[in-house]
A and B are shown apart, each in its own frame.
Chain A
Amino acid sequence: MNILLKHIEYPESTELKGYCESGGYKALSKALDMKPSDIVDEVRRSGLRGRGGAGFPAGMKWTIASMDPKKPKYLICNADEGEPGTFKDKPILEKNPHLLIEGMAISAYAIGAEYGYIYLRGEYPEAKEILEKAIIDSYAAGYLGDNILGKGFKFHLFVYFGAGAYICGEETAMIESLQGKRGQPRIKPPFPVNEGFLAKPTVINNVETFANIPYLVEVGAYAYMKIGTPESPGPKLFSVSGSVNKPGVYELPMGTTLREIIYEHCGGIKDGKKLKAVIPGGVSTPIMTADTLDCPMDFVNLPKYGSMLGSGGLIVFDETADLRKVCLRITEFFEHESCGKCTPCREGVGWLSSILKRMCSGEGKPEDVELLLEISKNILGKCFCALGDGAAIVVQGFVNNFRPEMEGRAGAQA
């Protein structure tokens, strides 16, 4: 599988020259000869689903935004990749920046946006330099600017550097942040596609989602759909970390099983240990037990196993992992990153982590695990955005799947 990461094998993949030599910017040229609405239709037909975590059909977003009469329209790339375990956008940003620029330029043409922003994670300073240089080069070569490729299409692209808040990866908080405000999610509706950046129609997609666009436009929806599964078509980047022999980012078709990823591509568990658990899609997806290895990694099958595809950031734990500590660490992350807007997330998640901290320091009480479940239940479904709910289902996942260990009765400490 080599679509999203194709160019990075070429020398100087970040350079415009290297990118063009390996076939880059052909899709843009092709797209500019198409009708914008045809591109939107093509994306809709392809069934491409957002790669940022929620899996929302990209074509649907584009359709709504392009039909909104308000002008101007904006395009935002979500490059805030801030969830622990997720680092799949990084190789595109750092090694394949022109693929993103090309994808965004095509998308902008399709929905009628004249301005685009890449909201880049504050902890990716290298990517900032690379992207900024790539943008300058693209302007010089006529892939960005007032008259792209001489075809009368105008698109300007800017990099906006985040300040380190995970919540700014949530699309409406990202818009607030871009507008210079405190990063907190907005009330929906109105959705960004109708009233987003500066209250104008705005499409926000993930880096990887945009990276799919050039190929999709080049080969067309029909060929694109041959990759992956019918409900989750296309290639997918999986970032694998934890106790595997070859951690890293892998491009594989949607629907590749956990087993194949861990044992074929990542060379199995480190030091020949036994697999204990997997977090399949970044820390906001529930942890899974070792007997779920045959689950295909896609939007439809993971929920059947009690989890979610999320961003595709796998974290693999072997038999020696202390899952209580893992659960505490993840909960502390959510506590730290809760924006504080809504009560259950702000106060509830902090409460969860203080209980877990006590449990981990040997001061746990028998009723603690039940209390964790109670609090999680009180958080779940009542939060303003998905961050708080995510924290709750994660704790539920740990308790439900590894209750004896969470209760301190069995486990890895031994």
Chain B
Amino acid sequence: MITITINGKKIKLNKPVTILEAARKSGIHIPTLCDHPMLEPFGGCRLCLVEIEKMPKLQASCTQQVTDGMVVWTETEKVVEARRAMLEFLLVNHPLDCPYCDKAGECDLQDNTMKYGPAIGRFKEGKRKHPECYDDPIIVTNMERCILCSRCIRMCSDVQGADAITITNRGNKSYVEPFSGGRFDCEYCGNCITVCPVGSLMSRLHKHTYRPWYIEKEVETICSFCGVGCSFVAQIRGDSIVRVETRPDLGLNKGLLCVKGRFGFDYTVSSARLKSPLIERNGGLKQTTWAEALSHAAGKLKEVKEKYGPAAIGAIASGLCTNEDNYALQRLMRSVIGANNIDSTTGFFYGPAQRFFEDIFGQGATLNPMQGITNSDGVFVIGADPSAVTPVLGLQVRAASRKGIPVVTVGHMSGLKRFATCSLNPDAFSEPALLNMLISGLMKKRPVCGENIFFEDIIKKFMLSTSDNISDACGLGKSDIDKAVDELNLMTNPAILIGRQVVQRSDASVLLLQLSVLIYLLNGRIYLISELPNDQGLVDMGCQPDTLPGGRPVFSDSMRKRYEDSYGAEIPSAQGMRLMEMIQAAHEGKLKALYVMGENLLLNLPDTGYVKEALLKLELLVVQDTLMNETAELAHVVLPACSWPEAEGSYTNFEGRMQHVKKAVHGEAMEGWKIISEIAKIIGVDWDFLTVVDILAELTKVSPVHKGITYSEMDSGNCLWPYNGEPLRDIAKDFVLPDTKLIKREKCSGRSYLSADQQLFHSGTIGRNSSALNLLMPASYARIGSALNEKLSVKTGDTASISSGVKSAELDVIIDPDIKGMMVFVPNTAADKGALSFMKWSMNKDFKNPALDGNEIEISKLRSKAEEVAA
């Protein structure tokens, strides 16, 4: 126990902290500038000087640790004078342009000067000149206002791990600058803007559009971009979001955001925003009334049901929509239509992966709190680069690495390159070979212990079956494998992060079983890299053809009964169609009506040409969405739904945390769940949902896990799976070993394959409607490595022609020396040139999801950038 006295007040502390922390804890305010709760102490601004008895000099309270018996004074004449002096110094080179500066009103320098600074300045000589810089599309820098607190630098290097900016020059000629010169060319997380105490780093997007005191309302809500579920405060003026801001103590992101969350929210006001219902007339979509649109949709649904039976109707739910919307949609399908044909793109990866691991490790096995990553003793990442698709999750991996925790990555991962202690980059599609070698290596060091006989039996059989079929060839040397095994062997409770690429392939079940073995051997905790804000919610809300809300199997009579009683309708016991099965059925003319909610099938499904043919054969295509898109263009009825900031609801993130999404602005459209219940009513079923509270109330009654949840419980931040309910205990023991012959491949080297690029700046579906994000990544591209470029000899910026069996297009090339082999990476952010539109697929027989591996692609040089410029 340490006792110190500050301003005569005795303070007891359990552990040594800085004087500043001790003062804050006991409510004593010490002004600061360079200190920031998200950053390590720096000690540069000297504003926080305090007087300590028996020390001749004033000390910086942000860096000085307390010692027992220390007596501190924070308001003596000496301290007050020193503070005034520091503020006077800080204004020596300051342009005093507060009337013109956007930061005025929320500027730490301005506030502190008003409170503690001198009344007049004595500096008469000339000031440093450094014109405001507009070289970057997003960040404006004004280095005349910079107080060189280095908060931005510490954020960018020590927290974000991007190392994109630095202080250039020395002394009073110093200024902050990106390494790349004028443009930042960085990760654009904007976290440097968050911590800049003055108007030196500002977002260009809302520059000079308002003043901080014009903010009319602040709403704490959840980001709509990915499955991490970061919290932020949306600041509203004139019924529109002008900016989102974080708080160091808010949400699980604790003040951090990524580029999408911070700058991408303007998709909600894009010109593609749907405002009124549309109906297909004379081959075109025409504006109509809600009454007509709803009755048309409902009437046609009823008609199709009567004519072809409920099984001819399907629905696509969406990980971009709230739990409430998704719950309503599955309720419509199950209780009004009477079919289990409901699925979403979450069924391409997240759903099946979760199911696979739950079958082995029990329900909830993949739902682990995010902070577990930095508290683990190892990290293993495969299948996606979390620092690109779920950036704030990626930051956890970077933080773990910075703490000295070993990080092993498998596959091309630019964002973790500098953080992995061991990066394994095997040949295309040879992950099974690599994993087998890792497992065998590890089992030699760590034999199985007999803890789970059931699973160890599976391991034995599986390893026997793989020995014939899996070669050792993955393009990596023995020393690489040995090093990786040694690293893995250090881990006793690692975090295992798994992304989409291990599941969207024909040998997915083998890979997942291999990963399960690894997880078992390492005693790992699973994290599924959830790319959409509500992947988990889709699973939990029963938007799968084989599960009811709460993740209960639809074939279970007792479970079905529970829902049937509540819905007053019979639910078929047979599993419904999965998404790709519905597309196939539509193509074959068996599926007649499709209700698509919040999903652009012509962007996010492979072989879009085929998908389009299928959709065109439908008798009814209802699209309920917030933005006009390629799928909606084909619809018979388009129903504009409230966009993310316009409605109340909830998302469930990858940890299984339910979070409250709040209404921040008014919208012209209708809430998604409400559209659905209106349709149910027109069909003739009495739904009495008046607000989302009613939906949540029903869910909490019927779902065995979601017991008694309220929105205020979500607001507390601790609404975590299994909530207040009971997880499913009896796991199926009749485990079917995957067919390891699946993985026998002809050698892939020497051929080019297409893969979807993992994009930091974009999320495709909604992100491409954000003008801010489009500034950063205006067009699609093909990213290739040096090996492929030996054949192609192009330069970044040159144009290439790429073609697959189903599509050809022109794309600009980016050369990325880190890419191994002949892979071609194309982002899936533009519908006409998205990666998926080029891809053929086959149905994975275990998961009924599209397998996208082995998509060969031809690429050839078309013209160089120089020629283009000359022309």
Chain A residues packing against B (C-beta within 8 Å): 165, 167, 182, 187, 189, 335-351, 354-355, 358, 371, 378, 381-384
Are the CB atoms of B85 and A378 closer together than 8 Å? yes
- Residue numbers in A under 8 Å from B65 (CB-CB): 189
Contact B171 A339 (CB under 8 A): yes
- Extra contacts besides A336-B170, A346-B172 (13): CB < 8 Å: A340-B169, A343-B47, A343-B86, A343-B89, A343-B147, A344-B89, A345-B171, A350-B172, A355-B125, A378-B81, A378-B82, A381-B56, A384-B44
Chain A residues near B45 (CB-CB < 8 A): 342-343
Partner of B46, one of A182, A340, A383: A383
A selection of 29 A-B contacts at a CB cut-off of 8 Å is A189-B65, A338-B172, A339-B171, A340-B167, A340-B169, A340-B171, A340-B172, A340-B174, A341-B148, A341-B150, A342-B44, A342-B45, A343-B47, A343-B86, A344-B85, A346-B172, A346-B174, A347-B89, A347-B93, A348-B85, A350-B171, A350-B172, A351-B123, A358-B125, A378-B81, A378-B82, A378-B85, A381-B56, A382-B86
- Residues A339 and B92 in contact, CB atoms below 8 Å apart: no
With a CB–CB cut-off of 8 A, which chain B residues contact A343?
Answer: 44-47, 86, 89-90, 147
CB of B834 within 8 A of chain A?
no
B71-96 Cβ-contact flags toward A at 8 Å (1 or 0) = 00000000001100110111011000
Residues of A within 8 A of B89 (CB): 343-344, 346-348, 351, 378
Nearest first, the 6 closest Cβ-Cβ pairs linking A and B are A378-B85, A338-B171, A347-B89, A354-B125, A340-B174, A350-B172
Partner of A187, one of B63, B86, B92, B173: B63
Q: Does B58 contact A (CB under 8 A)?
A: yes
Query: Could you tell me if B58 and A381 are in contact, using CB atoms closer than 8 angstroms?
Result: yes
Q: Are A342 and B92 in contact (CB under 8 A)?
A: no
Would B58 and A337 count as touching, CB distance under 8 A?
no
Most interface-central of A187, A189, A381 (chain B CB within 10 A): A187
User: In the bound complex, how far is the Cα of B172 from the Cα of A337, in angstroms?
Assistant: 10
Give A346 Cβ to nearest chain B Cβ, in Å.
5
Interface string of B394-433 (1 = CB under 8 A from A): 0000000000000000000000000000000000000000
Could you say which of A187, A341, A378 contacts B88, with CB atoms under 8 Å apart? A378
Candidates B42, B58, B92, B150; contact of A347 at CB < 8 Å: B92
Does B785 belong to the interface (CB within 8 Å)? no
Contact check, A341 vs B44: say whether CB atoms are below 8 A apart.
yes
Residues 147-167 (chain B) with a chain A CB within 8 angstroms: 147-148, 150, 166-167
A82 to B90, CA, bound (A): 28
Q: Tell me the nearest residue of chain B to A188, going by C-beta.
A: B63
Roughly how many angstroms separate A350 CA and B125 CA in the complex, as a whole number?
10
Residue contact B166 to A182, C-beta cutoff 8 Å: yes
* B interface secondary structure, majority: loop
Within the complex, the shortest CB–CB distance from A220 to chain B, in Å, comes to 37
In the complex, the chain B residue whose C-beta lies closest to that of A340 is B174
**A351 CA to B58 CA, complexed, in Å:** 22
- Complex CA gap A30/B111 in Å reads 65
Chain A residues near B43: list those with CB within 8 A: 187, 341-342, 384
Question: A358 to B45, alpha carbons, bound, how many Å?
Answer: 27
Inter-subunit contact A347/B170 (CB<8 Å) = no
Closest to B49 in A: A382
Highest count of chain B CB atoms <10 Å: which of A339, A343, A346, A350: A343
- With both chains docked as a complex, state the minimum distance between the C-beta of B827 and any C-beta of chain A, in angstroms: 34
Contact of B172 among A335, A355, A378, A383 (CB under 8 A): A335
Check: B364 CB closer than 8 A to any chain A CB.
no
Q: How far is the CA of A344 from the CA of B172 in the complex (A)?
A: 11
B95 to A: closest C-beta gap in Å: 14
| Interchain CB contact under 8 A, B41 and A187 | yes
**CB pair B86 A336 closer than 8 Å:** no
CB within 8 Å for A350 and B122 given contacts A187-B41, A338-B172, A340-B170: no
Cα–Cα distance between A343 and B94 once the two chains are bound (Å): 12
Give every chain B residue within 8 A of A350 (Cβ-Cβ): 92-93, 171-172
The answer to whether B167 touches A182, judged by C-beta atoms less than 8 angstroms apart, is yes
Q: Which residues of B contact A341 (CB under 8 A)?
A: 42-44, 148, 150
Chain A binding site: helix, strand, loop or mixed by DSSP?
helix
B57 at the interface (CB under 8 A from A): yes
Nearest chain B CB to A274's CB is how many angstroms away? 35
Q: A344 CA to B166 CA in the complex, in Å? A: 21
Chain A residues near B88 (CB, 8 Å)?
A: 378
Q: Is there an interface contact between B172 and A382, defined as CB atoms closer than 8 Å?
A: no
Determine the distance from Cα of A181 to Cα of B563 in the docked complex, in whole angstroms.
63
Cα distance A355–B172 in the bound complex, in angstroms: 15
Q: Which residues, 90 to 148 on B, are CB-close (under 8 Å) to A?
A: 90, 92-93, 122-123, 125-126, 147-148
Contacts of A382 in B (CB 8 A): 46, 49, 57-58, 82, 85-86
User: Cα distance A345–B148 when bound, in Å?
Assistant: 12
A392 to B92, CA, bound (A): 17
Q: Are B122 and A347 in contact (CB under 8 A)?
A: no
In the complex, the answer to whether B171 meets A335 with C-beta atoms within 8 Å is yes
In contact, A371 and B122 (Cβ under 8 angstroms): yes
Could you say which residues of chain B place their CB within 8 Å of the CB of A351?
Answer: 89, 92, 123, 125
Chain B residues near A336 (CB-CB < 8 A): 170-171
Residues of B within 8 A of A345 (CB): 171
Residues of B within 8 A of A346 (CB): 89, 148, 171-172, 174
Beta-carbon nearest neighbor of A186 in chain B: B43
Q: How far is the CB of B857 from chain A (nearest CB, A)?
A: 41
**B273 CB to closest chain A CB, in angstroms?**
46
* Chain B, Cβ-Cβ closest to A167: B170
Chain A contacts for B56, CB-based, 8 A: 381
Asked if residues A384 and B93 are in contact (CB atoms below 8 Å), the reply is no
Q: How far is the CB of A298 from chain B (nearest CB, A)?
A: 23
In the bound complex, what is the Cα–Cα distance between A372 and B638 (angstroms)?
75
CA A335 to CA B170, docked complex, whole Å: 9
A167 to B41, CA, bound (A): 20
Contacts of B41 in A (CB 8 A): 187
Q: Which residues in B have their C-beta under 8 angstroms from that of A384?
A: 43-44, 46, 60
In the assembled complex, the Cα of A349 lies from the Cα of B47 at a distance in Å of 17
Within 8 A of A (CB), among B6-62: 41-47, 49, 56-58, 60
On whether A337 and B171 interact (CB within 8 A), knowing A344-B89, A348-B89, A378-B88, the answer reads yes
B44 and A337 within 8 A (CB): no
CB 8 Å contact bits of B158-201 with A (1 = contact, 0 = none):
00000000110111111000000000000000000000000000
Task: Chain B residues near A182: list those with CB within 8 A.
Answer: 166-167
Nearest-CB distance from B77 to chain A (Å)? 13
A103→B123 CA distance, assembly (Å): 50
Chain A residue with Cβ nearest B83: A382
CA gap between A354 and B122 in the complex, in Å: 13
Return the chain B residue nearest A182 by Cβ: B167
In the complex, A120→B170 CA distance in Å?
20
Write out, one digit per residue, whether chain B residues 520-557 have a CB within 8 A of any chain A CB (1) or not (0). 00000000000000000000000000000000000000
Residues of the A chain whose Cβ atoms lie less than 8 Å from the Cβ of B42:
187, 341
Is A165 in contact with B46, judged by CB distance below 8 angstroms? Answer: no
Q: Which residue of B lies closest to A358 (CB)?
A: B125
By CB atoms of chain A within 10 A, which of B82, B85, B148 has the most? B85
A317: min CB distance to chain B, Å: 27
The answer to whether B172 touches A339 (Cβ under 8 A) is no
B840 to chain A, nearest CB (A): 48
Residues of A within 8 A of B147 (CB): 343
In Å, the complex CA distance between A371 and B124 comes to 12
A340 touches B148 (CB 8 A): yes
> Of all chain B residues, which has the CB nearest A335?
B171
How many Å lie between the Cα of A340 and that of B125 in the bound state? 19
Q: What CA separation (Å) do A156 and B364 show in the bound complex? A: 54
In the bound complex, do residue B170 and residue A337 qualify as a contact, i.e. CB atoms below 8 Å apart?
yes
Q: A382 CA to B47 CA in the complex, in Å?
A: 10
Complex Cα gap A344–B60 (Å) = 13
Task: State in angstroms the CA–CA spacing of A214 and B86 once bound together.
Answer: 47
Q: Which single residue of chain A is at the shortest CB-CB distance from B62?
A: A187
A197–B73 CA distance with the chains assembled, in angstroms: 35
Residues of B within 8 A of A340 (CB): 148, 167, 169-174
